[in-house]
Amino acid sequence: MIPLVSDETLAEVVRVLSYPRFALTAEDRDNIVVHYMEHAEAFRQPRTRAALPQCRDPHDQMFIRLAYAAKADAIVSGDDDLIVLAAASRIAILAPAAFQRQSVL
C-alpha cells in the first residue's frame, strides 16, 4: 500500500508531530516527514466530484477528500472522527490495528 499526501495533509501531519505528547525533536520530526515523503504519492490539491462523507471535525475532511480524489484503498487512522465514518464511506476507514490484521491476511 502506498501512502498518499497532499499539501494540506502534509501540513497537518507536521503540525500534529509537534504535539508535546510525542516528545519529538525538530530533527525527529524532519526525519519522519522525509521518510514518509520518500514513500508517498503526492496530490498537490486533490479534487473530486464524488459525494464525500462529512467528518464532524472539519480539520479531518482533507483526509477524506484526498482519499476519494486518489481513489485510495483505505484510510488508516486512530482518529475517532474519521473511524466513525466507516459505515458511510465507499473507501474503507480502518483503525491501525484493524489495518494491520487485514494486511497479515
pTM of the full predicted structure? 0.87
Rg (CA), the chain: 14
92 close to 71: Cβ distance less than 8 angstroms: no
Fold assignment, 4-104 = Rossmann fold (3.40.50)
Could you tell me which residues are beta bridge partners of residue 5? 42
Q: How much helix, strand and coil, in percent to the nearest 5, is found in the chain?
A: 55, 10, 35
pLDDT tens digits in sequence order for the chain, 105 residues long: 899 999 999 999 999 999 999 999 999 999 999 999 999 999 988 888 888 999 999 999 999 999 999 999 999 999 999 999 999 999 999 999 999 988 765
